[in-house]
Structure formats: C-alpha cells, structure tokens
Amino acid sequence: DAGVTQSPTHLIKTRGQQVTLRCSPISGHKSVSWYQQVLGQGPQFIFQYYEKEERGRGNFPDRFSARQFPNYSSELNVNALLLGDSALYLCASSINPFMVTGELFFGEGSRLTVL
C-alpha cells in the first residue's frame, strides 16, 4: 500500500506570493495533520482535519489555511509568504484523530524556500 504522498517535493517562492501544498493520506486514514519543521527544530503542529472538519489548529497566523476533501486528501495554503515560512512542511495521516491512542504516519515533506 502507498504511504502518505506529498507534492511538490521542493519549491521556491518569493516574498508575498502564495503557495499550495498537497497531501494524500494512507488509504483508510481519515485524519490528516500538517506540521512545519524549520531547520534544526522539531515539527510544529499547524492543523488537523478529520472527516473534512478542522479538529485542531496550532499557533500559526491566519495566512495559513487548509482544507480536506471528500477523498480525505488535503491542501495547505500559505498566503503572503515571509522569509520565515521557509521550512519543511510535513503531512501526516492517522486512522483516527486521537493521538492519545495512535501514531502518525508522515509523508516525505514539501521543502519550501522563500526568497
């Protein structure tokens, strides 16, 4: 079975532009989470979606938004890009939304560079 897939793998944008990152979860997984990982740091939680509804949001500005589609795939959008948005964006899926019971399965990430 395919794992979590993310696209694009690498992209370069300039300040002020907008970016859309895509994620397909493992088949049967209904929960998708997004994390931002700045170089040298651990992943920071951005959003979680389950059954197309937002179930959690981290401490990120409103420039960050996401959605989940009926097939459980997800998009993360970032508007008005800043240099500090340069990071590895990780998508993770899980069977249920409760981390108290389960683990996350991560994709390989989308490396965003903002110039």
Partner 1 sequence: SQQGEEDPQALSIQEGENATMNCSYKTSINNLQWYRQNSGRGLVHLILIRSNEREKHSGRLRVTLDTSKKSSSLLITASRAADTASYFCATAVNYGGSQGNLIFGKGTKLSVKP
Binding partner 1 (rule: CB under 8 A), the pick from 56, 60, 65, 73 is 56
Percent of the chain as helix, strand, coil, to the nearest 5: 5, 50, 50
x/- contact string, 6-35, with partner 1 (CB under 8 A)? -------------------------x-x-x
Compute the distance between CA of residue 98 and CA of residue 22 in angstroms, rounded to an integer: 22
Residues that bind partner 1 (CB under 8 A): 4, 31, 33, 35, 40-45, 48, 50, 55-56, 58-59, 88, 90, 92, 97-109, 111
